[in-house]
Structure 1
Amino acid sequence: MNTITPWSATAQADIENSEILLERKVLAYTYQFYNTGDSLWIVAVLPGSGQIAFRAAFAMNSCFEVSNLFDDQDSVIILLNSRLGNYEVRVDFTATPVLHYTTSFTANVPLMMPFWPRDIIPLTQNGNIANTAGKIHMEQFGSRSGLLFASITKPQTGSFFYFQNLTSLSDYCESTETESKNTVGGNWPEIGFQLPITDKLPLPPDRAFIISDAYIIFHTEIFEEAATICEYFLNNLVKIYKVLHQPRIEYNNWPDIAQKVIADLTQNKGAWTQKDGLSYLNAYLCDYETPPESMVQLAVLAPMKEYEKWSGEKQPVCEDLIKGLSAFYDKKINCINRWLPSMTDKLDESEEQKKEMVMDSWYLHHPLMNLARLACQGDKTAEKLVLDSIEYVIKTAHHFNYEWPVFYNMETLEVIKKETAPGAGGERDVPGAYAHLMLLLFKITKEKRYLNEAEKAAKKLEDLGLNILYQANNTAFAAGALLELFKITNKKLYLDLSYICLAGLFKNIQLYDCRYGFGKNYTNFFSIFPLNDAPYTAAYEELEVYAALSEYLIQARDVAILPAVKTLIAEFVKYAIGRIAFYYPPLLPKEMLSEQVKTGEIQADLWVPLEDLYNGWEKSGQVGQEVYGAGMAFGVVPRQYIKIGDEFLLFVDYPIIHHSKRGNAVTIKLDGDKDLSCNLKIIKIKNSSIKMEVWQDKQTQEPFAANANIHEYKISGQGTVKIQW
C-alpha cells in the first residue's frame, strides 16, 4: 500500500460524502463537480466506471463557499469565496476530447505559500486511494513542459495525458520570485501539479493570479509497449498544442547575422589558436589552455560550407579550417582523435575526458559524421579522413557490442566510465549516431557492409524503451537514420524506433514561454534541452536538432508518417528559427549575462553564441561563449532562404521539403500541418520594386503586411506555394 499525505488520505471519503454541485456528460465521459470544504474537485468518470479526481482549487487553511455557478453548453464557471481570498474556476469543454480548466486566485492579504497539494488522485469504487497502482510513463523534469502521462493499473481505469500550461504561471512566478520547474510529477497516488512554494516574497493581495491552467486527455486503454506509449504521447501533445495560445513568432534577419558572425570569427583573436602554421578554432572564446578539438572545427565548417554554396561566395574561414583537419589524424590508432595530437601535452586533466587517449563515446562519431557529410558534397580531404578512420570506428563498435560506455581509452579500449549514473547505462543513443554514420558511408561507397553495420547498431536501441535519449542532437540523428533504414528495408521496427527517438526529443522540450525573471527577455517557447537532466538549453545542440529534424521531414516526404510528427517537427522548426538567435549576446540585455564564466570569457558585443540559456532567475552564459556554436546562422540561412538572383530573398519558417525555379516562378513544397500557418516573406535586396504574385494550392494569397522592402504572408503549413514575378 502506498503512503499518502493528510491532504489525500480523506479525499475519496470527502468526495463520496459531498453532494454533486454539477454533472456534465461529454462524449463517453462524465464530469462531476464537488465542493469538499477545502477543495473543489472535478471527478472524471471514464467508460467502465473508472474515476480520476482533479483538485481544481485548494482553500488552504479555510473552507470554500460557492458564491456563484454559471453553466452553459461550452463551459462552466464556478466562483468560490474563502477567508483568504476569492477563486474563479473556468472549465472549458469546447476542445473535445480535451478537458481544460483554469483557476485564478485573488488574495485578501499578502500570503506566503509554504505548501500546496498535488492536484490528481485516482479513485476506487471500493477501498482506499492508497491501495491504487499506476505507471507514470513521462513527467516533467526541470524546466521542461509541465506534463504527465500515466496509466492507472489498479483499478484498471485507463490512461490520461495531463498538461499544465506553465506560460500562465509566469505572473505568479514573477511576483513571488519562484520558478515553474519541477512542478508536475509526484509520487503515486498523489501526482500532478504543485503550485511553487514561496520562500522569498509573498503573493500580493487584490490582484488575480492564474494558479493552474490544466489540459487533460483520457484513454480507456492501459499502455504498456514503448512504441504505443510514444505514439499516443506524440498524438496527445499535438492535440494539446493546437488548443494552446501560441506566442508571436520573432523574425531575425539571418543573412545579416551570418555576415556579422563571419566578421567576428575572422577578426577576433579570442576565437583562434595557432599551431605549426595552421589555425584552429577554440571551443570557447579566449580559452587558449585547452587543445583544439576536431568536433569544434567541423561543427563550424560543415554548416559554413552549406552557406558558402548557398551564397556563391568563397569563405576564407572554410579554407583555414580544411587545412587543419588532417593534423587530427592520429597514427597511433589510425583514426582522427578528439584532441589535436600535437598538443595533448596541454590537457590539464581537470575533467575525466581532458586526458590523452580518453574518448567520450559520442565525440568519436560526431566529427566523422560531419566529415562524411562534407565527403558527400565532394570534399576529398574529408573523404580520405573518414575512410582512413572508419575501420577503427567499426572495431570499437564490435568491441563494445554496439553498447558504448561514457569514457574509454582509445588505444586499449579499456572502459574508464561505464555508466552515466548507476544502473542508467552508457551513452544510450550512440548506436543511433553510429547507424547514421554508417549510412553516410554506405552513401559514399555503396558498400553493403556499412548498411549491415547500421542495422546491427539500430537493433540495440530496441531494448532501451523510452530511455534512448542521452544527448538530443545525437537522438535526432538517430531518428533520421532509423527512418532511412525503414525506407531501405521496409521493416516497421525501425519506424517505431524512430518515433521513440522523436518522443524522447519532444518530451525534452519546453512547450511554454517563461515570462518571468531573466526568461522574459527572450523568446523561449519550444526550446529543447541537450540532455535529460540539463538545467539549460544549449546553442549547438539546438542547431543540430533543428537541422536534423528539418532533414527528417524532407526524407519522410514519400513515407506515410504520423501526422503528429509532421506537426511537431514543423512547429519546432518555426519557433527555433525565431528563438535560437537569442543565444547571441548582442540580442540580450547585459544584466542577464553571467559575471562568472566556467571557460574563457564573454564579450557581450560579439556575434558568437553563449553555450547556455537559462529560464527564470538564473543568469546565462555561465559555461562560456561557444565558438563551436558559431555555425548556427550558416545552418539556418540555406534551409529557410531562397535566393532569386541578386534582387530578392524568399523566406519561409517551415521546413522547405522541395523548391524549384522555372523562368520567373519559384515553387515551394511544404508538408507540415495544414491547419496551422507559417510565414512567407519576400525580401528586397536591391533597388527594384516587389511585384510578385503568390498562390498556395492555386488560391491567391494576399500579404498581411507590406512595404517597399518586404511583403509578408501567412500561409498554410501544408501545400504547394508558387511565387511568380
Structure 2
Amino acid sequence: MSGLSPWALTAMDEFENNEVIHSEHFQDLSLRISATKESIWVAVSNLSYTPVYFRACYVPGGVGKDLKLKKTADGISIHIKSIIGIFDLSIAFSFEKLIILKYKCTLIPSDELFIPYWPRDILTTNHAKQPVKSIGEVHVQQIGTRSGLLYFSLPERDLRILYFQNLTELSPYAEQTGTSLAEVVGGSLPEIGLSLPETKDKPLKAGIKYTISDACIGFKTGAILTSDQATDYLDMLSEIYLQVPKPATRYTHWPDILEKGLEDLIENPGCWSMVSGSKYLNAYVCDYDTPPEIMVQLAVLLPLVDYSEWSGKTLDVMKVIKEGLAPFYSEKLKTLVRWHPAAEDKLKGEEEQKMPMVMDSWYLHHPLLNLSRLALKGDKQAEKLFLNSLGYAIKVAHKFKYQWPVFYKMDTLEIIKAETKPGAGGEQDVAGLYTHVMLQAYELTNEKKYLKEAEIAAKKLATVGYNIMYQANNTAFGAGALLRLYKLTGNERYLNLSYRCLASIFQNIQLWDCNYGFGKYIPTFFALFPLSDAPYTAAYEEQEVFCAFHDYLLHAEGVEILPSVRLLCSEFIRYLVERAPYYYPPMLPEEMISDEVKTGEVDRKLWIALEDIHDGIEKSGAVGQEVYGAGNAFGILPRHFIKIDGEPFLVFTDCPIGRIRKSKNTVQFHLLGDTRIDYRLRIVPDNNSRNALKLNFEIKDSEAFKTPKDRRQDLEIFLKGNKMVHLNWKKS
C-alpha cells in the first residue's frame, strides 16, 4: 500500500465507532450513511466484505451537532452549519439495471475562502495495514480534462465500481478561483476520487453557493472475475450517462458552414502548395515547409466525394486532388509513400517522423483505407494504387508480426521508434486498421487471402488487453472492421473485440461542459481526445470517429449489439453535430485563439478548422489550422441532411440514420439511436421564407411539428431513437 494522508488515517481511526444515521439494502449491497468528526460517509459493502467508503461531504473544522437530516423519496438530505459556511448534502439511491449511489454537496462560504487542500472522497479500505492486492485495481482514471471518472475493481470483494464526477457542476468553482478541473479525479489506492483544485490567487466569494461535489456511482456485483471488463465499462458508463444532467443541443445550419468552408478550401492560397507543376493540399494553413502528404490529400478528398454524391454537384477541386495522387506511388518499394518524393528534400528532421523514408505505422494504412473506399465506388486509378500497394502492407505486417512500431524505415523496415512510451507497446490499434484494409481488399477482389490476413490481425489484437487506442479514429475504424468480421464469420470473439476498441475510445471523452475561462464560449460536452494522452481535442480525429460510428451503427443493423454501444455512439454523434462548428476560428472570440502557432499560420477569418481546442484556462489553435480537417462539414452534412430531388427543403436530424427510402411526397428512414433519447428532426426550407414552404408535414403516430424559436421558417419535432420514421407531406 502507498502512503496515506492524515485525513485518511484519521477517518480510518473513526470508522469503527461512528454512528449509522441511515441505511439501504439492494440485492447483496448494503449502503450505510454515518458521520465522523469532519465528514459524512457512505459505506458500501458487498455481503460481509470490507466496505468501500465514500466521503459525501467534508467539513473542515468539524460537522458538529448542528446537523439537520431529512428523509426524501429516494434518500436523505443533510444541512450543516459550520465555521466556514453552510453545507447542503443530498444522497440518493436507485436500482434498475445498476445499483446507483448519488451524492451532491454545496457550500456557501461564510467568508472569502481559499482551499489549499481538499481530501479525496473514496477510501477502499478501513485499515492502514491492508494487503496491497485487497485494496483494489484502478482500470481508468481522469487524464487531463477527460471525464471525471474512476473505473476500478475489488476482486476479493466481488465488486466493480464506476465513479463519475459531474464536473459541469464544478465549473463555477473553477471560474471563480481561476483553476482547472484537469485531473481532479484520481489519486492512489486506497485513497482515490475527487480532490478540489487548490486555490492560490482567487478565493471563493462569501455568500455564494458553489457545488463542490456531484458524484454518480454505479456498482456491479457477481462474478466480476469472469465478466468482461470492457463490456462492463460500456454498460456501466451508459447507465450513469442516463442518470447525469446533459446540456441541451442547438440546431446548426451546416449548409451555410459548408459553403464557406468549401470556398476557403478552394480559394485560399494558404491551403495549397505546388510541386512539379501540380497543386497539393498543405497539412496546415501556410505550412510550406513540409512536403505534401498522401494522407492529407485523401483525408480531404473522401468527404468531398461524400458531399458530391449527396448534392449531385461536380467539384473541380476533387479532380485537382486526384491528379496528384499517382506520384506518391513508389515503383521501387511497390507502395504508396507518405511524403511526396519530389519534395522530400524539405524534410529537416526536426521531428522523428520528418525524415525521408520514415513511416508512421498508421500513415501507411489510412491512405490505403481511403483508396479502397474510392475503389469500391468504381474509381479505377484508386483501385490500381490500392491493389498495387497491398503486397507491401502485408510484408510489413509479417515483418512486425502484426504488432506495429511507431516509426520505421520504409526501405529497410528498420524500427526507428518501437513504443509510444516504455512498456506501452507500439501503435496497438493499427492491427484493427489493417484488419479494415484487408476486409476492403476482400470485398473488392473476393480473394480469401485477404480475409485470412484480417483474421490473423484481429486475433493479434486480442493479446493487447483493454488499452487498445493509440489514435481515436483508427481505433474506431478497427471497431467497425471487427464488427464486419463477426458478421462474415459468426465468431463472437470479433464482436467482443470491437467492444474493447469502443471502450478504449470512450475512456478518452469529456462528459462535461467546461464552463470556465474560454470554455464558456463553446460547447465541450462529449468531446473526444485524439490520443490517450493528448492535452486537447482535435477536429480531424473527431470527424473521422463521427463517420466511423455512423458506419458501425449501419453495419450493426440486424445485429444484436450492446444497447450501451448504440447509446454512446449515437450520443457522441448527436453532440458532435453541435460542437464541430466551434473548431472554426470565425465561431470563436478572438481572445480565445492563440497568438503563437506551432505549424503554419492561423487566419482567424478562414473557415478551416483549428486542430486543437484546449482546457478553458488555455488558448486554442496553438498547433495550427488543419487543412486535413477540412472534411468536417463535408462529412456531417450528407449524413444528417436528407436531400429530396425537386423539393424546396432538407430534412435534418441529429440522430444517425439508415435505410433511407424516397418516393413521391414521402421519405422513410431508420433512426439508429437509442430508444431512451429524444432526437431532433427538422424541416429546413431552401431559403429564408416560410411562405415558400406551403406544405403540411406529418409523421405517423407522432405529435405535430412545431416552429422553433431559433429559425422561425423551420419546423421541428423530437423523436425517440431506433425506430422507422415515415415522413409525408402535401400541399396545404
CA distance in structure 2 between the aligned counterparts of 1:224 and 1:461, rounded to whole angstroms: 21
What is the root-mean-square deviation in Å for CA atoms of aligned residues?
Answer: 1.7
CA distance in structure 2 between the aligned counterparts of 1:516 and 1:709, rounded to whole angstroms: 34
Q: Is the 8 A contact 1:63 1:83 kept in 2?
A: no
Local SS of the residue matching 1:485: helix
* Residue of structure 2 in register with 1:605 after alignment: 605
Q: Is the 8 A contact 1:332 1:411 kept in 2?
A: no
Q: Is the 8 A contact 1:250 1:579 kept in 2?
A: no
Offset of 1:178 from its aligned partner?
0.9
Describe the superposition over 1:259-278 as per-residue Cα deviations: whole angstroms up to 9, x where unpaired. Answer: 11111111111110012221
Offset of 1:150 from its aligned partner?
1.1
Q: Is the 8 A contact 2:37 2:64 kept in 1?
A: yes
Offset of 1:46 from its aligned partner?
2.7
* Residue of structure 2 in register with 1:712 after alignment: 716
The one-letter amino acid of 2:256's match is D
Local SS of the residue matching 2:556: helix
* Residue of structure 2 in register with 1:191 after alignment: 192
Offset of 1:214 from its aligned partner?
0.3
Q: Is the 8 A contact 1:2 1:130 kept in 2?
A: no
* Residue of structure 1 in register with 2:670 after alignment: 669
Q: Is the 8 A contact 1:39 1:64 kept in 2?
A: no
Offset of 1:122 from its aligned partner?
2.0
The one-letter amino acid of 1:438's match is M
CA distance in structure 2 between the aligned counterparts of 1:469 and 1:373, rounded to whole angstroms: 23
Q: 1:253 and 1:708, CA in 2 relative to 1: closer, same or farther beyond 3 A?
A: closer
Q: Is the 8 A contact 1:35 1:64 kept in 2?
A: no
* Residue of structure 2 in register with 1:691 after alignment: 695
Residue pairs, 1:374-523, within 5 angstroms: 374-523=374-523
CA distance in structure 2 between the aligned counterparts of 1:632 and 1:692, rounded to whole angstroms: 33
* Residue of structure 1 in register with 2:101 after alignment: 99
* Residue of structure 1 in register with 2:124 after alignment: 122
The one-letter amino acid of 2:166's match is N
Offset of 1:560 from its aligned partner?
0.6
* Residue of structure 2 in register with 1:568 after alignment: 568
Offset of 1:217 from its aligned partner?
1.2
Describe the superposition over 1:603-634 as per-residue Cα deviations: whole angstroms up to 9, x where unpaired. Answer: 11100000000121110000000001001100
* Residue of structure 2 in register with 1:161 after alignment: 162
Local SS of the residue matching 1:69: strand
CA distance in structure 1 between the aligned counterparts of 2:446 and 2:57, rounded to whole angstroms: 63
Identity %: 45
CA distance in structure 1 between the aligned counterparts of 2:30 and 2:511, rounded to whole angstroms: 29
Q: How many residues get paired?
A: 721
Q: Is the 8 A contact 2:158 2:224 kept in 1?
A: no
Q: Is the 8 A contact 1:62 1:84 kept in 2?
A: no
* Residue of structure 2 in register with 1:21 after alignment: 21
Q: Is the 8 A contact 2:155 2:224 kept in 1?
A: no
* Residue of structure 2 in register with 1:552 after alignment: 552
Describe the superposition over 1:528-563 as per-residue Cα deviations: whole angstroms up to 9, x where unpaired. Answer: 100000000011000000000011000000111101
CA distance in structure 1 between the aligned counterparts of 2:189 and 2:720, rounded to whole angstroms: 43
Q: Is the 8 A contact 1:611 1:623 kept in 2?
A: yes
Q: Is the 8 A contact 1:543 1:635 kept in 2?
A: yes
Describe the superposition over 1:492-539 as per-residue Cα deviations: whole angstroms up to 9, x where unpaired. Answer: 110110000000011110011110011111001001100000000011
Local SS of the residue matching 2:104: strand
CA distance in structure 1 between the aligned counterparts of 2:218 and 2:563, rounded to whole angstroms: 18
* Residue of structure 2 in register with 1:702 after alignment: 705
CA distance in structure 2 between the aligned counterparts of 1:694 and 1:27, rounded to whole angstroms: 47
Residue pairs, 1:199-598, within 5 angstroms: 199-221=200-222, 223-224=224-225, 228-598=228-598
Offset of 1:63 from its aligned partner?
4.5
CA distance in structure 1 between the aligned counterparts of 2:510 and 2:67, rounded to whole angstroms: 37
Q: Is the 8 A contact 2:9 2:128 kept in 1?
A: no
Local SS of the residue matching 2:675: coil
Describe the superposition over 1:342-385 as per-residue Cα deviations: whole angstroms up to 9, x where unpaired. Answer: 11011111111110000010011111111111111111111111
The one-letter amino acid of 1:474's match is N
Local SS of the residue matching 2:60: coil
The one-letter amino acid of 1:722's match is H
CA distance in structure 2 between the aligned counterparts of 1:651 and 1:153, rounded to whole angstroms: 47
Offset of 1:17 from its aligned partner?
1.3
CA distance in structure 2 between the aligned counterparts of 1:347 and 1:13, rounded to whole angstroms: 63
Q: 1:127 and 1:520, CA in 2 relative to 1: closer, same or farther beyond 3 A?
A: closer
Offset of 1:48 from its aligned partner?
3.6
CA distance in structure 2 between the aligned counterparts of 1:87 and 1:678, rounded to whole angstroms: 38
Describe the superposition over 1:551-591 as per-residue Cα deviations: whole angstroms up to 9, x where unpaired. Answer: 10000001111011111111111001111111011101010
CA distance in structure 2 between the aligned counterparts of 1:163 and 1:209, rounded to whole angstroms: 18
Q: Is the 8 A contact 1:164 1:212 kept in 2?
A: yes
Q: Is the 8 A contact 2:125 2:135 kept in 1?
A: no
Residue pairs, 1:169-184, within 5 angstroms: 169-184=170-185
Q: Is the 8 A contact 1:679 1:715 kept in 2?
A: yes
Q: Is the 8 A contact 1:483 1:498 kept in 2?
A: yes
Offset of 1:409 from its aligned partner?
0.4
CA distance in structure 2 between the aligned counterparts of 1:432 and 1:330, rounded to whole angstroms: 25
Q: Is the 8 A contact 1:438 1:453 kept in 2?
A: yes
Local SS of the residue matching 2:91: strand
CA distance in structure 1 between the aligned counterparts of 2:128 and 2:407, rounded to whole angstroms: 51
CA distance in structure 1 between the aligned counterparts of 2:422 and 2:696, rounded to whole angstroms: 61
Local SS of the residue matching 2:136: strand
Local SS of the residue matching 1:435: helix
Q: Is the 8 A contact 2:142 2:186 kept in 1?
A: yes
Offset of 1:337 from its aligned partner?
0.8
* Residue of structure 2 in register with 1:147 after alignment: 149
The one-letter amino acid of 2:708's match is A
CA distance in structure 1 between the aligned counterparts of 2:56 and 2:321, rounded to whole angstroms: 58
CA distance in structure 2 between the aligned counterparts of 1:392 and 1:18, rounded to whole angstroms: 68
Describe the superposition over 1:130-167 as per-residue Cα deviations: whole angstroms up to 9, x where unpaired. Answer: 7642111211111111111111234x252211110111
Local SS of the residue matching 1:93: strand
- Structure 1: segments with no counterpart, 5+ residues: none
Offset of 1:468 from its aligned partner?
0.7
CA distance in structure 2 between the aligned counterparts of 1:228 and 1:55, rounded to whole angstroms: 29
Offset of 1:12 from its aligned partner?
2.7
Residue pairs, 1:587-666, within 5 angstroms: 587-646=587-646, 647-666=648-667
Describe the superposition over 1:306-334 as per-residue Cα deviations: whole angstroms up to 9, x where unpaired. Answer: 10111111111101000111111122311
Offset of 1:100 from its aligned partner?
0.7
Q: 1:129 and 1:90, CA in 2 relative to 1: closer, same or farther beyond 3 A?
A: farther
Q: Is the 8 A contact 2:105 2:212 kept in 1?
A: yes
Local SS of the residue matching 1:558: coil
Offset of 1:205 from its aligned partner?
1.5
Describe the superposition over 1:365-421 as per-residue Cα deviations: whole angstroms up to 9, x where unpaired. Answer: 111111111111111111111111111111111111111101100000001111111
Q: 1:622 and 1:127, CA in 2 relative to 1: closer, same or farther beyond 3 A?
A: closer
Q: 1:471 and 1:657, CA in 2 relative to 1: closer, same or farther beyond 3 A?
A: same
TM-score, normalising length: structure 1: 0.97
Quick check: 1:723 aligned with 2:723?
no
Offset of 1:200 from its aligned partner?
2.5
CA distance in structure 2 between the aligned counterparts of 1:690 and 1:31, rounded to whole angstroms: 60
* Residue of structure 1 in register with 2:85 after alignment: 85
